[in-house]
Chains A and B, each alone.
Chain A
Amino acid sequence: MSFEYAPAPESRDIVDLKPSYGLYVDGEFVEAKNTFKTINPATEETLAEVAEAGADDVDRAVAAARRAYDTVWGPMPGAERAKYLFRIARLIQERSRELAVLESIDNGKPIRESRDVDLPLVAAHFFYYAGWADKLPYAGFGPDPRPLGVAGQVIPWNFPLLMLAWKIAPALACGNTVVLKPAETTPLTALAFAEICAQAELPPGVVNILTGAGETGRALVEHPGVDKVAFTGSTEVGRQIARSVAGTGKRLTLELGGKAANIVFDDAPLDQAVEGIVNGIFFNQGHVCCAGSRLLAQESVADELLDRLKARMATLRVGDPLDKNTDVGAINSAAQLAKIRELSDSGEVEGATRWSPACELPERGFWFAPTVFTGVAASHRIAREEIFGPVLSVLTFRTPAEAVEKANNTPYGLSAGIWTDKGSRILWAAERLRAGVVWANTFNKFDPASPFGGYKESGFGREGGRHGLEAYLR
């Protein structure tokens, strides 16, 4: 007999799914002409029908946001705005179990992560920016910084509610109103957040949630009534948005893709480095823009590190996202799974060695086993392109200078990791890495007080911390 963990599913009963959801405009849920379905990627079952906002819905939402900005939210003293934000933060905490389950069934991420990472960070983000609302004159952006107006925000599917928090909390704290479009595959927690806004008696029009796909997003960012566009997502879409916003006078922040290097020096704490590598690439199924998708291992410890990494990967529990013991959940969509497969296959074709632990994947739903590629050359596609899945590419280096050179040899620049026992080397490398976030002896750590954002094709602007206010003030 061996120690088999019995299934420990988190109950779904706490979530009260409606068969269909409308758009949240001007404090009310309203229907739209078209609808689409959102599914559970772990089972492919349909969860709900969701409204697809058209151009006229975008008009209405932007007009509502403008009205709320002009009449209520813009003129409101910061201390009063803070009260609403604190109330929202507390409601999120009170409903956190429900929101975590909802996030896991709509997104596919393990409940352990939505419960222990996403939801605490979401609440913390609102608490943090609530604290800034009445202190903006002391934030370092002049004695009387003013809000911008209406913010059009488009967020991705990998951290649906967390990305919403990153966008909405600073915007509202600074006195802006928002129209937010959640991703097509993960609209449900944004709609639950709309309910929370109503529960908090947030004035109508301050927050508007428009569900929809690419067309809805395009209509929103191109709308002339929008003063500020904030987008998190792929570099390709980010480019289109930059083009459409150019010359309009709209303010823009983009948080795009990444191909982060996780650099392990030969004096690194190896067991903890292995944990950091696992957390860097298998956290959230690798659907993380700042994922440590390139492991740069010093050649003298590469074999030992890989042995340990593979042994550790064999203990990862892949499966039902609602099981409290699941480490790796479902891939978010069929399209994403196809992309991960295509890039992984290219890795094999180009000559890298592929390895996955023996792991049984469920038959229904979208699944991909944790995968590591060794013998990867810098020219391989899997070393250059963002895979956005649980796929790690391993490269080696000989000297610290070579490590930094290889780490920076990418069009992206979102994050990087350094693993060494030597403090001076951490400082030396961090100074030279062209990445917005550099983690030392850890990876994928987030805090509302810490700014986040990229270099180069990873975008511009910072979210989080005092820096995050700047994007919503003039």
Chain B
Amino acid sequence: MPDLSTFADTAVSPAELRGFLHGLPPVDQVGAEERAARLATRSIKKSAKAYAIDLAISMVDLTTLEGADTPGKVRALCAKAAHPDPADASAPKVAAVCVYSDLVGEAVRALDGTGIGVASVATAFPSGRAPLDAKLADTRRAIDDGASEIDMVIDRGAFLAGDHRKVFDEIVAIKAECGDAHLKVILETGELATYDNVRRASWLAMLAGADFIKTSTGKVSPAATLPVTLIMLEAVRDFRAATGRQVGVKPAGGIRTTKDAVKYLVLVNETAGPDWLTPDWFRLGASSLLNDLLMQRHKLTTGVYGGPDYFTLD
């Protein structure tokens, strides 16, 4: 592991940064995908499944990120977040609601007193193609309106052009804007393309102060995958071993079924370890996943499947 002490101050040179990131152990694509696929064959049944479903529900960042989002849509989503299964009060609530920055105020009002976080995407989500001033203003607005979590996107263009320093500085600047709010840094791994890049971008974000690293915006395909999440979980595990600081992970986009969610939890359990198995350190960015989790939960507790009409669409 390269020396990390130089990153204590932000005066690290672009060459040092590049040297560090390219000094990380490489990733063998075939081996990484094989490992993720093997963990996906774990058989999670009965009590383990019940535990995993409730844990997964509590980790959901219930998300709506559409051009057509309205205050009404956001209020409905917030109601769902607080009471996912109106017929069963024992169902846990989700971790947070994730919206665009201009709808943060609406979400904060709707979730007042529930303990559910309000996450705002920011920094010209999803492309990140805007001047830094605009990104900062976007973030500031969300914070002012009460967002407890900021999901920023990195400048993939700069990263792919080799300008790690620009990516690093932007994260540092946004982090400064966040105050007490948690900063999730979206790598948009579908655009980074290689696992080596995912590992480097993960470390870059963590070095710059990310509280969470997140796979995707959900607007680019592929979004979250098991191997990409595996690489990121290895990164947070190694980062904590090197620095003592724990960073969370959030796969987002494309996780639709309970089966998928359980595979992610197995991946967390056997890669980063049980310390990450809480909503404080692992989130699932999703929308339709929640209803599938509730349906499976219902099946497990009652022994029968309820039809989709018994679960609310919001």
Contact = CB atoms under 8 A, between A and B. Distances in A.
Interface string B22-60: 000111101110110000011111111101100100000
Nearest to A305: B25
B234 interface: yes
Contact of A441 (B30, B41, B49, B51): B30
14 contacts: A4-B47, A6-B47, A7-B45, A8-B43, A269-B27, A269-B28, A271-B27, A272-B35, A275-B31, A304-B1, A324-B42, A325-B43, A441-B30, A442-B30
Interface stretch (B76-84, B141-149, B167-175, B269-277): B269-277
A451 to B, nearest CB: 21
A272 B51 contact: no
B277 A275 contact: no
Given A5-B44, A315-B270, A325-B43, A272 B52 contact: no
Contacts of B34: 275
A259 B234 CA distance: 31
A275 B35 contact: yes
Contact of A3 (B1, B25, B32, B277): B277
Interface in A240-298: 267-272, 275-276
Interface in B262-313: 265-266, 269-270, 274, 277
A3 B51 contact: yes
Contacts of A272: 27-28, 30-32, 35
Contacts of A181: none
Contacts of B270: 315
A436 B82 CA distance: 62
A324 B47 CA distance: 16
Given A116-B41, A304-B1, A3 B48 contact: yes
A324 B234 contact: no
Interface string A84-123: 0000000000000000000000000000100010000000
B71 to A, nearest CB: 38
Contacts of A441: 28, 30-31
Contacts of A304: 1
Contacts of B46: 6
Interface residues of B, number: 29
A130 B297 CA distance: 48
Interface string B234-268: 10000000000000000000000000000001100
| Secondary structure of the A contact surface, majority rule | loop
A6 B35 CA distance: 22
Nearest to B230: A271
Nearest to A267: B26
Interface residues of A, number: 25
A276 B31 contact: yes
B3 to A, nearest CB: 14
A1 interface: yes
A275 B33 CA distance: 11
Contacts of B25: 268-271
Interface string A429-466: 00000000000011000000000000000000000000
A379 interface: no
A71 interface: no
Contacts of B274: 2-3
A390 B312 CA distance: 52
Contacts of B41: 112, 116, 324
A176 B55 CA distance: 59
A421 interface: yes
A269 B31 contact: yes
A332 B174 CA distance: 59
A3 B269 contact: yes
Nearest to A5: B48
Contacts of A276: 31
Contacts of B44: 5-6, 8
Contacts of A275: 31, 34-35
Interface in A1-32: 1-8
Contacts of B51: 1, 3-4
Nearest to B1: A304
A8 B27 contact: no
A421 B51 CA distance: 40
B249 to A, nearest CB: 15
Contacts of A269: 25-28, 31-32
A2 B31 contact: no
A271 B234 contact: yes
B43 A324 contact: yes
B42 A325 contact: yes
Contacts of B32: 269, 271-272
Contacts of A1: 51
A325 B43 CA distance: 6
Contacts of B48: 3-6
Given A272-B35, A324-B42, 20 more contacts: A3-B48, A3-B51, A3-B265, A3-B266, A3-B269, A5-B42, A5-B43, A6-B44, A6-B47, A6-B48, A268-B26, A269-B26, A269-B28, A269-B32, A271-B35, A271-B234, A272-B31, A275-B35, A325-B43, A421-B28
A442 to B, nearest CB: 7
Nearest 9 CB-CB pairings of A with B: A272-B31, A8-B43, A269-B28, A324-B43, A272-B28, A270-B25, A6-B48, A6-B46, A421-B26
Contacts of A324: 41-43
Interface centre among B25, B41, B42 (most CB of A within 10 A): B25
A374 B21 CA distance: 30
A49 to B, nearest CB: 33
Nearest to B231: A271
Contacts of B55: 3
A1 B51 CA distance: 9
Contacts of A2: 274, 277
A6 B32 CA distance: 26
